[in-house]
Structure 1
Amino acid sequence: MTEPRKPIVEMPLRVRYHECDGQGIVFNANYLAYVDMAMFEMEKALFGSHQEALARGVDIVVAESNLRYRAPCRYDDELVVAVYLNHLGTTSLVIDFEITRGGDLCTEVKTRYVFVDPKTLKKAAPPAPVREVYAALLPAQAD
């Protein structure tokens, strides 16, 4: 039996009124803001802060995101954004996000990030110590 995957971080948040559209549902673009906030929480958990990650010679930029809406979120909902490492490439990584309300899945987001040099912002493989931090988070592969 496969163990359920464990999130790197789980970030709680409460939906604010201005994040909702005229239908009273969280406006679609705000889900990307939620996952962006969760990425900074992941960096904090892994490296201490975004500034510390930069000091280690690494930054990441978004290359693509895919969102799948399962259930609407509304004003004052208490949500949790869970962050999972899905894939680690040579110069990129794929992060899965699950946004839940009361344990029920509301939104799934898959985002591909590219590692860049913080000074030049050009694509670059992360330094070995940074890569090791991410590699330790990869899900175990079934034999």
Structure 2
Amino acid sequence: MTEPRKPIVEMPLRVRYHECDGQGIVFNANYLAYVDMAMFEVEKALFGSHQEALARGVDVVVAESNLRYRAPCRYDDELVVAVYLDHLGTTSLIIDFEITRGGDLCTEVKTRYVFVDPKTLKKAAPPASVREVYAALLPAQPD
């Protein structure tokens, strides 16, 4: 039996009025803002802060995001953004986000991040110490 995935972080948030469109539903681009906020929470959980991650010689930039909307979210909804490491490559990682309301899945986001040197912003493999932190979060592979 496979263990359920354990999130790196679960970030609660409440939908604010200005995040909704004329139909009263969260405007689609705001879901990317939610996952961006959650990635800063990941850095906090793993390294203490975004600044500390930078001090370790690592930063990430978004290379690709894919969103799947399952159910609409509306003003004042209480959501949770759960963050999971899906893949760790040499110079990139893939993060899965699940946005839920009351335990029901509303939105799935898969984002590929590329590691960059914080000074040059050029693609670079992360330092070994950073890679080890992320590698420890990879889901166990079945035998």
Q: What TM-score results when the alignment is normalised by the length of structure 2?
A: 1.00
Can you give the 5+ residue segments of structure 1 that lack an aligned partner in the other structure? Answer: none
Per-residue CA deviations over 1:94-113 (Å, capped at 9, x if unaligned) read 00000000000000000000
**2:125 aligns to what?**
125
Deviation at 1:85, TM superposition (A): 0.1
Per-residue CA deviations over 1:58-81 (Å, capped at 9, x if unaligned) read 000000000000000000000000
**1:9 aligns to what?**
9
2 CA distance for matches of 1:139 and 1:2?
10
Moved over 6 A (4+): none
CA RMSD of aligned residues (A): 0.2
Deviation at 1:54, TM superposition (A): 0.2
Q: What TM-score results when the alignment is normalised by the length of structure 1?
A: 1.00
2 CA distance for matches of 1:66 and 1:142?
26
Deviation at 1:13, TM superposition (A): 0.1
Deviation at 1:138, TM superposition (A): 0.1
**1:33 aligns to what?**
33
**2:106 aligns to what?**
106
Number of residues of Structure 1 aligned to a counterpart in Structure 2: 143
1 CA distance for matches of 2:107 and 2:3?
22
Deviation at 1:135, TM superposition (A): 0.1
2 CA distance for matches of 1:78 and 1:117?
36
Per-residue CA deviations over 1:42-66 (Å, capped at 9, x if unaligned) read 0000000000000000000000000
Can you give the 5+ residue segments of structure 2 that lack an aligned partner in the other structure? Answer: none
**Residue 36 of structure 1 aligns to a residue in which SS?**
helix
Deviation at 1:126, TM superposition (A): 0.1
